[in-house]
Amino acid sequence: MPGDDDLARRLPSRTAAYCVGLLSEGPLAGAQVEVRVVAPRRTKYGDHHAPGRGRPAHRITVNEDLNPYAFLTTFLHEVAHALTWERHVRGRSRFARHVMPHGPQWKGEFARILLPLIDAGTLPGDVALALARSLCDPRAATCSDRGLVEALSRYDAPDPSRVRVEDLPVGAAFRIDGRRAFRKGAKLRSRYRCFDAVTGVEYRVHALCPVVPCAAEGPQRVSPPGRRRA
């Protein structure tokens, strides 16, 4: 678990004190909250696990490779889950089933902790605008909000070797994080059907996922044996 200084280092400087304070004030003041910075994951930027089954603390994880504004957005998203649990679930087991993971209670908590940062002008204009728009209909995952992803990605470190999946032609081969190669297939809403170049297993890869183009390898299969999300 990172200390306050390590957590602050990963956040935009003008937001650090506010974010660290969220963990020690209000409903979370008497709660235990563990924040872990973890290795990058292809399917999510962060997550939250509520106390339970012998675990007394909330556990929040955030991917270590996120730029400061993406880290901030993900951190607040997960803190809103912890706040929702403390305000609307703890000690109210009869009503817990009515509190949905991204229902009105979570949306309210997310807006409550995000608006002070937007109103204070501590964020770049494009990020503030994208976050303000997202409050009209917050998504279950940051990567599901195209406008927000595009605003946040402008602050990534430049990497000319990477392109988005959507920018590759159908049939092109690519790698994700230096791992095995895939071949791009047809688009399905926000994701593309992509196939493992060796096994032919189908994966659903998000259109905005950054990948590295590569030479084709392995057999091409028309009918893959299964599918997974990536």
pLDDT, one tens digit per residue, over 55-76 is: 899 999 999 999 999 999 999 9
What are the residue ranges of helices labelled H in 121-181? 125-134, 146-153
For the chain, state the CA radius of gyration: 19
Rounded to two decimals, what is the model's pTM? Answer: 0.79
pLDDT in tens, the chain (230 residues): 566 788 999 999 999 999 999 998 888 998 999 999 999 887 788 999 999 888 899 999 999 999 999 999 999 999 999 999 998 887 666 555 678 888 899 999 999 999 999 999 999 999 999 999 888 877 666 666 788 888 999 999 888 888 999 999 999 999 987 778 999 999 988 889 999 988 999 998 888 888 899 987 655 444 444 555 55
For the chain, which residues make up each domain, given as ranges? 4-153, 163-229
Return the SS3 of 223: coil
Alpha carbons 230 and 223: distance in angstroms, whole number: 19
Q: Which of 195, 208, 196, 202 is nearest to 167 (CA)?
A: 208
**Pairing state between β 202-206 and 58-63:** unpaired
Token duo for residue 5: 């200084």
At 165, phi and psi to the nearest 5? -55, -40
Token duo for residue 175: 């790698």
Burial 43-53, CB ≥16 within 10 A → b, else e: eebbbbbbbee
Q: Which helix (H) or strand (E) holds 127?
A: helix 125-134
Token duo for residue 170: 């159908």
Number of neighbouring beta carbons within 10 Å of residue 68: 16
Alpha carbons 159 and 59: distance in angstroms, whole number: 32
Domain spanning 163-229, CATH architecture:
Roll (2.30)
pLDDT, one tens digit per residue, over 89-133 is: 876 665 556 788 888 999 999 999 999 999 999 999 999 999 998
At 27, phi and psi to the nearest 5? -60, -25
Handedness of CA 96, 44, 71, 132 (dihedral sign): negative
Burial 160-177, CB ≥16 within 10 A → b, else e: eeebebeebeeebbbebe
DSSP 158: P
Token duo for residue 18: 């506010």
Average pLDDT in the chain: 86
Q: Let me know: does 72 contact 11? Beta carbons within 8 Å.
A: yes
